[in-house]
Structure formats: C-alpha cells, structure tokens
C-alpha cells in the first residue's frame, strides 16, 4: 500500500525532469535557415518605452539603417518622467505619449500603441523592446514569415555574452539562453508552438488587432502565447531572426528573475493542467505540449525541489526498503544535469564560463528567497529593469 503513495510523491519531479530532458536533448541542434518570398509586407516596429532616455537614442541609431518605406517604427513613451519622448522626436521618429498611473505595465502600452495604428494599420507589427538590438535580415525574415504563414512569430532572443560579469549574472544569462533558445527548439521539435518572450514578436495585424493586450500581467508575453495556443493559433519560433540586449546588472538581476519566475509560476499554476486536459480532449498536440512545458518550473526551482524530494524518497527507502522511486528520480536528476552540461559544452559556454558554472550550487541557494516569497504569496510586481547602457556582441 505504501508503494503507490511513494510514487505519488515522486511523480511530479520525475515528470517535470523528463519533459525538461526531452526539450533539452531535442534542442541541442540549431534550427535550419528558412527562405521566404522577397516581398516585404508593410511593417511597424512597436516599441513600448518607460524612462528609456539613457538607451533609446542608441536603439534608434541602431535601428535607423533597417527602416524604409516598408518598415517604420512607433515608440510609446509610457508614463515617462524623463526625456524619452523628446529624444525620439529629435531623431525624427513617431512617438506617442501615454500617462496613466492607475494602469501600469507593458500590456497597456502595447494596447495604446495599437490604438494609434488603427487608422492606417500595417500588415505586420513587431513588438520590440527599447533596449534591444537586431539587424535588417532578422526584421525582414520575421515580417515575411509572419505574413506568409499568417502566424505570430517569435525571434531568438538572447542576452549579450559577458564573461567579465559576476557568476550570478553569467548563470542567469545562461539560464535565459536555455529558456529562450534550447527549450524553444525542443518544444518545436516535440510538436509544440513557441513561447512568446516579450520582444522580437511579430504579429499579423489581423491577429494583433484583437489580442487581449491591456493587462497588468507581469508576464504578458507568456499570457499572450497561451491565449493564442488555446485559440488554435500557436506562435512559431524563428531561430534565424535574432534580437539581443545587454544583461541586467547584478543588483537588478535578482529583481528581474524574481518578476519573471513569479509570473511564470503563477501562469503555470493556473494554465498547465487545463492545457493538458484541453489538449487531450481536443486531440491538440500543440496545446498538450504547452501544458507539459508549463509543468517545468525555472531550472533552479526544478533542481531544488527535485533534490528535496530525492532526500525524502531516500529516507522513505531506508525505512521501507523500496528504492525504485528514489533511483528513478536520481536518474532523472542526473539526466537533467547531463543535458545542461551537454548544451553548455555545445554553445552555452558563450554565456557561462567554466569557473562560473562551478558556482551553480551557490546560485541555487541565492534563489531560495525568490521561491519562498512566491510560496508566501508575496508576488513581485512590474518595475523597469535597469541595464547597462553599453552595447556588446550577443
């Protein structure tokens, strides 16, 4: 009678680790480049900006060569108390200002920008953060793929490599790459759609005009991707389109990760099991895979919980002599560690030095307060992430 109860304890981390291992294994190889028709659809880069005076000038300068009669940009200066709007105007670009202290967050800024586009809508809208960089080919491929497939497209979004950064920042940058690139590839190859990550998101206007944008959700990008998948319009991942940005400073990294991870855990809590059930009921593999993906918490949380359960199972095994669940979980933890090391060796070493990787246990300990806050219901809200103003290679 005790065996089923022990398996009940072991099953959640075993399932989450199995999904993680499958995504990581299938995500080791880069996606092939795709070709698209030469016709460029009318495209607007929609840039929400909150107090971005320190970086918006450099962003506009970097984007300037990409603009043409088919590609323009619109900046939404959202609740700004600095010179963001003036800098955009001085550079000769469109900017609209929004002031509403009761409705704060990126979703409201995007909704405001969409309202400004309705009088002369483009074929494609690419949401682009004010501190990011890209190139002409990436924007063209995103727009052409988006309109050609009549589908939302997500670019590959990575942080700049900085081996001089602290181990905490390097590990966070590596985890960001794992989430945004490796697991995206794996999810796609398992039959799932893309997970939207906030920037480098291309929408056909026909879809964008009806999106539920005006929310204060701190992971509005994840929420939009779930909404699209549930509606049968799952986003697609386009790896050849690159968007990059500087990593947050060490002092801001914990706050940034706290907001994202609290938001992800909240969305997973409310949407993972329903997505699995709906996927089975509808025979929808894409929705089912999204549910499985949402069952996998952030890497540090996954490892910490798995190790805690493993210790518990080890204790129960000593008392009962029933070792199979503990051995199974231990093998899953080992497989997950092997996948992390494999992907680090193939490409992830660009973001994470060997010395910094040895500090992973300390990073996990550093993250414990983040998860304790979530468990107590102290969920992080939206604030702007401070980033270095210098530009670097992704």
Look at residue 375 in the predicted model and tell me its pLDDT: 76
Look at residue 381 in the predicted model and tell me its pLDDT: 54
Determine contact, residues 394/136, Cβ cutoff 8 Å. Answer: no
Domains of the chain and CATH, by start: 2-27+272-375 (no CATH), 43-247 (3.90.550.10)
**CB environment 196-224: b (16+ within 10 A), e (fewer):** bbbbbbbbbbebbeebebbbebbbbbbbb
Look at residue 379 in the predicted model and tell me its pLDDT: 62
Q: Hey, CA dihedral for 326, 330, 331, 332, is it positive or negative?
A: positive
Mean pLDDT, consecutive 10-residue stretches, the chain (394 aa), reads 90 97 97 90 97 93 95 96 95 95 90 96 97 96 96 97 91 94 97 96 97 87 94 97 88 72 88 95 96 94 94 95 96 97 97 94 84 73 52 53
The verdict on pTM exceeding 0.85 is yes
* DSSP at 45: E
Look at residue 393 in the predicted model and tell me its pLDDT: 52
Look at residue 104 in the predicted model and tell me its pLDDT: 87
Give the full edge-to-edge strand order of the sheet including 71-78: 94-98, 71-78, 43-49, 124-127, 201-204, 153-159, 236-245, 132-133
Determine contact, residues 145/229, Cβ cutoff 8 Å. Answer: no
Look at residue 248 in the predicted model and tell me its pLDDT: 77
Look at residue 383 in the predicted model and tell me its pLDDT: 54
Look at residue 259 in the predicted model and tell me its pLDDT: 79
């Amino acid at each position: 009678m005790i065996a089923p109860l022990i398996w009940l304890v072991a099953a959640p981390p075993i399932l989450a680790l199995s999904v993680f291992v499958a995504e990581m294994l299938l995500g080791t190889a880069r996606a092939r480049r795709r070709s698209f028709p030469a016709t460029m659809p009318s495209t607007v880069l929609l840039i929400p900006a909150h107090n971005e005076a320190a970086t918006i000038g450099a962003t506009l300068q970097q984007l300037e060569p990409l603009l043409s009669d088919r590609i323009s940009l619109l900046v939404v200066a959202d609740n700004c108390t600095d010179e963001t709007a003036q800098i955009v105007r001085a550079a000769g670009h469109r900017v609209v200002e929004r002031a509403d202290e009761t409705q704060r967050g990126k979703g409201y800024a995007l909704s405001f920008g969409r309202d400004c586009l309705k009088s002369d809508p483009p074929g494609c809208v690419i949401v682009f953060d004010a501190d990011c960089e890209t190139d002409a080919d990436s924007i063209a491929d995103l727009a052409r793929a988006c309109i050609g497939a009549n589908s939302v497209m997500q670019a590959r979004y990575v942080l700049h490599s900085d081996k001089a950064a602290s181990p905490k920042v390097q590990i966070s940058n590596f985890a960001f790459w794992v989430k945004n690139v490796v697991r995206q590839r794996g999810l796609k190859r398992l039959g799932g759609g893309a997970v939207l990550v906030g920037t480098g998101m291309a929408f056909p206007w026909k879809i964008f005009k009806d999106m539920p944008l005006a929310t204060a959700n701190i992971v509005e990008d994840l929420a939009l991707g779930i909404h699209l998948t549930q509606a049968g319009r799952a986003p697609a991942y386009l790896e050849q389109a690159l968007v990059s940005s500087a990593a947050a400073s060490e002092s801001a990294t914990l706050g940034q990760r706290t907001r994202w991870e609290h938001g992800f855990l909240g969305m997973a809590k409310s949407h993972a099991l329903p997505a699995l059930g709906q996927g089975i009921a509808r025979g929808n593999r894409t929705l089912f895979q999204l549910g499985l993906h949402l069952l996998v918490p952030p890497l540090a949380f996954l490892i910490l919980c798995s190790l805690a359960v493993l210790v518990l199972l080890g204790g129960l095994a000593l008392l009962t002599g029933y070792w199979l669940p503990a051995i199974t979980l231990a093998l899953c933890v080992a497989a997950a560690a092997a996948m992390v090391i494999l992907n680090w060796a193939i490409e992830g070493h660009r973001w994470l030095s060997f010395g910094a990787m040895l500090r992973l246990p300390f990073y996990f300990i550093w993250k414990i307060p983040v998860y304790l806050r979530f468990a107590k219901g102290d969920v992080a809200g939206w604030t702007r992430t401070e980033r270095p103003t210098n530009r670097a290679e992704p």
